Structure 1
Amino acid sequence: MPDLLKNMYNAQFFEHLSTIVEEAVPDFNKKDFFRRIFIPAWETLELKARMQHISRVLAVFLPTDFPQAVPYLVQIKQKAQQAGFANSFAFMFLPDYVEQFGLNYFEPSVNALQEITSLASAEFAVRPFLLTYPQQMLQTMLVWSTHPNLHVRRLASEGCRPRLPWAMAVPFLKNDPSLILPILENLKADPSEYVRRSVANNLNDISKDHPQVVLQLAARWKNANSNTDKLLKHACRTLLKTGHEHALQLFGFGAKQVVEVFPVILNKDTFQLNETLEFTFSCMARQAVEIRLQYIIDFARQNGKASKKVFYLAEKKLDRGEKFTIRKKVKLQHYSTRTLYPGKHTLGIMLNGEIEAETPFYLHIP
């Protein structure tokens, strides 16, 4: 089993951190720092709680007046980069420090986040500032979207995602995505794929609540350049996955009626947990067409109801009369996000958003 992410905060890390902070902060006491970090409850703290605890301990050694503490945060960030840390998740306690102690100081805080984000991405820390200073923060993020540093530009997009995972909700962004679009307009052709991918994820978030907004924008941006086209395809992945007709049309997936999908063949119809299901099927085009293929499994659930999960297979342009065959292996095992239950399951093939072939299989779990 892989080590828990929270365990990156170990004695070795704090040795490195202490060396960095000693260089940046006068009168830093390493022994006292370790004593305050490794409290009796340390082992019970989860990842976010550990980050917040580190921020609070660091605050003991910094000026209580937040604007006076900011230069020391920047010094720690710079010393960490000089020590070889780059884009480091471990230093997320620095933006967390700003979130915890800087909310009443808008300008010093956003300046600190702009500086820190090149070491430890600050998208979580900007959320309370969006809630407290919505207009000021959106204007700041619009400026960030033209910043020469790619990490700052990415923060402009990532921080205002309506459905940013594991982050504080910002309901007004979810309700009105028009507030976000000027930021994304500035970034749609960004030279960095790291930034463009954030734009795609932001648009994918928006598509879950406002699909027409994303489709209209995609129609306007499409064919500007290959990088933006790739961004849009990723941005519309949820719409494509769910078979949204207009999204499929926008990306050129043709009429499913011109494709014949042959029956699905399984290696067997009854499986034990941790065995591998193998399936194969073919499809043939009656005329030239571009297709998107997915497979869907209706998993049996403990309550007797099915639970559908869609998986990507392939996209392909078929010529008239061309036959295309796919073979796929699926291991039937428990995952952290999904527990399997015994009973009847159904595997289906989706062609351009519609299920065209289905076959049952059975799972036994001792």
Structure 2
Amino acid sequence: MTTTATTTASAAPLLKDILGPQALATIADAGCAASPLFDRRIFLAVASDGIETLSIMERVRRIADALKAALPTEYSEAVAVVEAMGPRSTHGFQAMALAEFVARHGGHAFDRSMVALAVLTRFGSAEFAIRPFLAREPEKTLGIMLQWSRDADAHVRRLASEGSRPRLPWATRIPALTADPTLAAEILCELKNDPSAYVRKSVANHLNDIGKDLPDWVLDLLTTWDRDDAGTAWIVRHALRTLVKQGNPQALALIGATDGAAVEVLRFAVAPGMVRLGETIVIDAELVSTATAPQRLVVDYRLHYARAGGQRAAKVFKLKTVDLLPGARVALAIRQTIRDFSTRRHHPGSHGVDLIVNGRTMAHTAFDLTMAPATEGQG
């Protein structure tokens, strides 16, 4: 007998369910352990009311408001309880909801709220909770964040960079940063040699954000940074990833790659030629150098997703950076599972795939996607 399984049968839990009933109970337990003044019954009643219809960030905000209802009226008392709840969080999103309490209900107490966010970010990032303060008082808040960039705790230093990103995903835009994405430049310079990879990744992402609006500014800044330092060099490479994918000559030069690519594509293919949602494709390529000198090649691929109505949406993925001697060959391959995410839904049809070398499209292939359920096997 042949059995079939739909993609939903083995689908990962929804992101929003991270803050489901069990998480609410954990937060309530933390509140009761932190203070006898915490009202468990009120918290659970407010937090759980209609929560099944809410997205993950809506749940974060609902929990913040439920904390307000369950805690003492005086903010200084309430925020002390919330700080004490932080170490009892069992997931970053739980602590993020604690920080959101500060964002939604501590705007009138700037100094105390800054202390609270620096405490709570150690248990779950306060990158979203800092945004309302940045929107209301950008200069004052950035001044505090500059101090955080020198903190002994890597989580606090990361908050200085991540919380001030101009294009922070899922976060509201900050008018001052939209008008001038470079306002946090001093923070980024302070962190360019940070010993923590967690912090360096945030700095790189922050600079990549700025580069989408002000590429020349980012290029000029990174030209002055010491790329002999391994950590700083890593930041530069990752900060320039969008500009490198676009083939920007100065960005390529900063990471040691050549402008253009003296290569011949011997093979570029995707297999299988037809896949079902949830299955995996293999993209492989073989290149040979036609240059007379060694060259560094940044090899990416662009996937053109089919969309409703015959439209396409493209996304570039990293394949590999290689150093190739004259006449040398290199074979590259990567696997990618074609599955839905909360941020990307697939549609049936032809999906194009481009091979990109140092920002230039060198070859093209395609595969077809069907939404038919995958066959598990014979029984």
TM-score under structure 1 length normalisation: 0.88
Aligned length: 358
The partner residue of 1:9 within 19, 23, 27 is 19
For residue 274 of structure 2, what is the aligned residue in structure 1?
271
| Distance in 1 of aligned mates of 2:152 and 2:143 | 17
Whether the aligned pair in 2 keeps the contact of 1:349 and 1:358 (CA below 8 Å) is yes
Q: Which moved further from structure 2: 320-329 or 282-291?
A: 320-329
Alpha-carbon offset, residue 65 of structure 1: 2.8
| Distance in 1 of aligned mates of 2:306 and 2:69 | 53
The partner residue of 1:167 within 171, 174, 178 is 171
| Distance in 1 of aligned mates of 2:269 and 2:80 | 65
AA aligned to 1:291 is: L
For residue 248 of structure 1, what is the aligned residue in structure 2?
252
For residue 376 of structure 2, what is the aligned residue in structure 1?
none
For residue 58 of structure 2, what is the aligned residue in structure 1?
49
| Distance in 2 of aligned mates of 1:11 and 1:298 | 39
The reply on whether 1:107 has 2:111 as its aligned counterpart is yes
Whether the aligned pair in 1 keeps the contact of 2:236 and 2:255 (CA below 8 Å) is no
Whether the aligned pair in 2 keeps the contact of 1:241 and 1:353 (CA below 8 Å) is yes
Equivalent positions of 1:27-176 (< 5 A) are: 27-39=37-49, 41-77=50-86, 81=87, 83=88, 85=89, 88-176=92-180
Alpha-carbon offset, residue 267 of structure 1: 5.1
| Distance in 2 of aligned mates of 1:322 and 1:104 | 64
User: What do you get for the CA RMSD once the two structures are aligned?
Assistant: 2.5
Q: Which moved further from structure 2: 329-338 or 137-146?
A: 329-338
Alpha-carbon offset, residue 198 of structure 1: 0.8
The partner residue of 1:339 within 346, 351, 360 is 346
| Distance in 2 of aligned mates of 1:113 and 1:279 | 44
Equivalent positions of 1:286-305 (< 5 A) are: 286=290, 287=292, 288-305=294-311
Gaps of 5+ in 2: 1-10, 373-379
Q: Which moved further from structure 2: 207-216 or 14-23?
A: 14-23
| Distance in 2 of aligned mates of 1:11 and 1:303 | 39
Helix, strand or coil: the match of 2:363?
Answer: strand
AA aligned to 1:19 is: D
The change in CA–CA distance for 1:313 and 1:101 in structure 2 (over 3 A counts) is same
The change in CA–CA distance for 1:131 and 1:332 in structure 2 (over 3 A counts) is closer
For residue 218 of structure 1, what is the aligned residue in structure 2?
222
Helix, strand or coil: the match of 1:119?
Answer: coil
Q: Which moved further from structure 2: 255-264 or 309-318?
A: 255-264
Gaps of 5+ in 1: none
The change in CA–CA distance for 1:221 and 1:21 in structure 2 (over 3 A counts) is same
Whether the aligned pair in 1 keeps the contact of 2:303 and 2:352 (CA below 8 Å) is yes
| Distance in 1 of aligned mates of 2:262 and 2:48 | 66
| Distance in 1 of aligned mates of 2:107 and 2:353 | 51
For residue 31 of structure 2, what is the aligned residue in structure 1?
21
| Distance in 1 of aligned mates of 2:90 and 2:193 | 25
Whether the aligned pair in 1 keeps the contact of 2:306 and 2:346 (CA below 8 Å) is no
Helix, strand or coil: the match of 1:153?
Answer: helix
For residue 313 of structure 2, what is the aligned residue in structure 1?
307
AA aligned to 1:6 is: K
| Distance in 1 of aligned mates of 2:281 and 2:70 | 57
Comparing both chains, which one has the higher relative contact order based on Cα–Cα distances under 8 Å and sequence gaps of 6 or more?
Answer: 2
AA aligned to 1:204 is: N
Alpha-carbon offset, residue 36 of structure 1: 3.7
AA aligned to 1:340 is: H
AA aligned to 2:101 is: Y
Residues 195-254 of structure 1: CA deviation (Å, up to 9, x unaligned): 111111111111110111111111111424101101111111111122222211221112
Whether the aligned pair in 1 keeps the contact of 2:21 and 2:48 (CA below 8 Å) is no
Alpha-carbon offset, residue 102 of structure 1: 1.0
Equivalent positions of 1:164-243 (< 5 A) are: 164-243=168-247
Alpha-carbon offset, residue 74 of structure 1: 2.1
Residues 11-33 of structure 1: CA deviation (Å, up to 9, x unaligned): 44344333322232234343444
Whether the aligned pair in 1 keeps the contact of 2:106 and 2:113 (CA below 8 Å) is yes
For residue 355 of structure 2, what is the aligned residue in structure 1?
349
Whether the aligned pair in 1 keeps the contact of 2:306 and 2:347 (CA below 8 Å) is yes
TM-score under structure 2 length normalisation: 0.85
| Distance in 2 of aligned mates of 1:201 and 1:217 | 15
Residues 257-316 of structure 1: CA deviation (Å, up to 9, x unaligned): 532223534557x52544655454322123321111122233444333443332221111
The change in CA–CA distance for 1:311 and 1:7 in structure 2 (over 3 A counts) is closer
Alpha-carbon offset, residue 354 of structure 1: 0.7
The change in CA–CA distance for 1:228 and 1:152 in structure 2 (over 3 A counts) is same
| Distance in 1 of aligned mates of 2:244 and 2:320 | 12
| Distance in 2 of aligned mates of 1:361 and 1:35 | 50
